[in-house]
Every structure is written in C-alpha cells, then in structure tokens.
Amino acid sequence: MAEFTMELSDEQKEVRDWLHGFAADVIRPAAAEWDEREETPWPVIQEAAKVGIYSLDFYAQQYFDSTGLGIPMAMEELFWGDAGIALSIVGTGLAAVGVLANGTEEQIGTWIPQMYGDAGDVKVAAFCSSEPDAGSDVASMRTRAVYDEAKDEWVLNGTKTWATNGGIANVHVVVAVVDAELGSKGHASFIIPPATPGLSQGQKFKKHGIRASHTAEVVLENVRVPGHCLLGGKEKLDARLARAREKARKGGERVKNAAMATFEASRPAVGAMAVGTARAAYEVALEYAQTREQFGRPIIDNQGVAFQLADMRTSIDAARLLVWRASWMAINGKPFTAAEGSMSKLFASETAKKVTAQAIQILGGNGYTREYPVERMHRDSAIYTIFEGTSEIQRLVIARTLAGMPIR
C-alpha cells in the first residue's frame, strides 16, 4: 500500500506536463469553436488518440497508479483545457469502466477495443443508466430486459436519458431491470453491439455548458442482444439475484447499495474535473488582475479583488486535497467511513461554480462576454453539481454515512 503523499513522482510530473501541453496546445485553441458548434470534436479526439491519450491503455495506467493520483491528475489537466472537449475525450471511459467492473475477461477483450477504435478511425462508447423518471432514484428505473430462453437472447425496452455519446456511440452499455421486485438489486448491465436494430437516438440536448460533449436520449424498442452480451454472464446474474431474493425473504437485510458504493469510489474523478475548471478560471482572473489597470494601478492592488483571489486559490487547493485523499483511499481499499468520495465531489463542484463566478466578477464586463473564456467556464461548471449525483445527493450520502444509516 502506497503512503499518502502530496508530492508527485518524477514520472507523474512528466505525465502531468505532457497532458498540460496537450490541453494548452490542442484543446484550448479549439474550445470556443466547438462550444459554439455544439458538436462532438472528432478532430481533437483523433489527435488525442494519435498521441495515446484517447486509449484504454493510458487510462488503465493512471487508474492502477498505486498512489491513486493518476486519474485525478489527468482529469484536472484535461479539464483545465476545456470541460466540454475533455468530457468528449474521457466520456468513453464511463462505458469502459462498466465493462471492466462487471464483464468477463472475454467480454473485456471483445468490447473495449471496439469502444475506442484506433487513431485512424476513432470510436466512442456510451454508458446509459439515467432515465427520465430515474436519475438520483435508480430504484425507479423502468427499462426492462427480458430473457428469451428459446433463442438465448435478451430483449430490452425503455428510454435512457442524459447519455454521454448516446446514439452516436459504437458500443452502448445499458443498465436495465431484470427483476423489478428487487429494486436496485434487480438491475443488470448489457452490451448493445454496433448497428443493433431497435436502438436509436432520441432527443439531443442543447445544453447550458459542456456543449462540445454530445448528450442525448437513447431509445430501445425490442432491442435483441445475444445472451453473451449480459455483462458477467447469466450464471453470475442468477446467483446474485438468488442471494438478493433470499435476503429479501429474511426481512431485507440492510446492506449498502452496490451501485451507490461504486459511485462513491468514482466521484473523486468528477471532483478533479471541477478542480481543473476552477483552476483555469482562477488563472485567467489572476493574470487579468495583474495586468488590468484602473485609477493608475493594477486592480489586484485593490483589497476587494486581492481577497477574492486569495479565497479562490485557497478553495481550489482545499478541493484538490480532498480529491487526492479520496482517490488514495479508493485505490488502497480504505473504507469511506465518512463518505470521503462524496465529500470531495461536493466541495470541488461547489468550488468550481463559485470560483468561475468570482472570475467573471473580477473581469467585470469583459468576463460576461465570450471574448474571454471565464464565461464558458462558468457555464461548464454548473454540471459538476448535477451529474454523478447532485450536491444534494452528496450531502444526503454524507449525512446518512455519518449517522450509520444505509445508503439507498
């Protein structure tokens, strides 16, 4: 087990600087254009693939970093460049993690390469969990998967929403209900292969921020997939459902929801995204305050501006430390006894919204225009308090954990 440290190794620093260079030289110059176009930035993803950033190998290396700092470091640098483009680059990872966490070795080897494609023909993947009536309340999911034993096929029907890369993905990973009586414990995940009949893109959302990231509904109408597309296989699913039914029969033993536990472990990565956006806005505001003169002196000489910058930097550093602590705990198997994963995501998300708003205030009228990037950064920051669990859900998780209550 690696000791917790705030000092990056030489190798980690090299990776950080490489990512920072890509974010500065490739992502940032393209940010305003793709925000306006509200389209997937395929050329940027292709560039990321050419240098090895858009690949399973890269993210696996960062994920298995024994210090736990590989992923948060990578997320912070990419999202420092631009949140919308960065989410387009890392969004496939959501589906890949779903397969890695639940799939067999054969499924991992078959489907994950198809999610990324290659530098000459990049692909993306989509993880489809949320529904119009089931966001934070995953137990209300309505998408159904019914097993056709005669054909060894699963038939899926339902509508997913807020799916990153939904409808344009080469591979979709869909969470569906297989036993409604078991609530969230009666869910399973399925691979939907490319060009499967019955899957279509519904509404594409025109968003407030992260507009370079494609977000849409995914509609499933009698979608048939072979039995081997059930992640983990049917034998494993049947055994899990049997255990859940037995616990329910004995009075519903109070256990922590497995999906919620997974979210708790993944939330620091979202916190790191928020830190990247906040840091970017702070740096723009700091440079502006040092060079913008009013009444014969730089505005940073005014206490009202200087104090804001001091608070911004303090909050960003505090958020990063919470993210790093939770990431180290997760990779080293330390239990989140105080919901440290949710703590990091909550504080970093709220920091990003506050810091980007303060950056606009420091830039004044210029900050309110699209001539400066802080306006876009502020719009982008709003998503962090919403996706992967709203700030209200984070507070609920933290409170219930502190009280010793089960997370539902």
Q: Which residues are catalytic?
A: 388
Report the Cα 87 to chain-centroid distance in Å. Answer: 8
Buried b / exposed e over 195-226, threshold 16 CB at 10 Å, is ebeebebbeebebebbbbbbbbbbbbeebebe
Q: Which class for 1: exposed (0-12), middle (13-18), buried (19 or more C-beta within 10 A)? A: exposed
Cα separation, 291 vs 401, in Å, equals 47
User: What's the one-letter identity of residue 280?
Assistant: A
**Residues whose CB is less than 8 angstroms from the CB of residue 201 and which lie 6 or more positions away in sequence, other chains included:** 166, 167, 168, 216, 217, 218, 219
Rounded CA-CA distance 265/269 in Å is 9
Between helices 391-402 and 340-363, what is the axis angle to 10°?
A: 140
Tokens for 194? 């490319």
- Determine the distance from the C-alpha atom of residue 329 to the mean position of all C-alpha atoms in its chain, rounded to a whole number: 19
What is the DSSP secondary structure assignment for residue 4, as one 8-state letter?
P
User: What are the DSSP E strand ranges found in 130-170?
Assistant: 144-148, 153-164
Alpha-carbon distance of 119 to 115, in angstroms, equals: 12
Q: How many Å apart are CA 189 and CA 301, to the nearest integer?
A: 56
Nearest to 103 by CA among 163, 191, 199, 183: 191
Whole-angstrom Cα distance, residue 280 to residue 124? 27
Contact 395, 338 (CB under 8 A): no
- Using alpha carbons, list the distances in angstroms from residue 186 to 162, 180, 240, 241, 322: 22, 6, 9, 7, 33
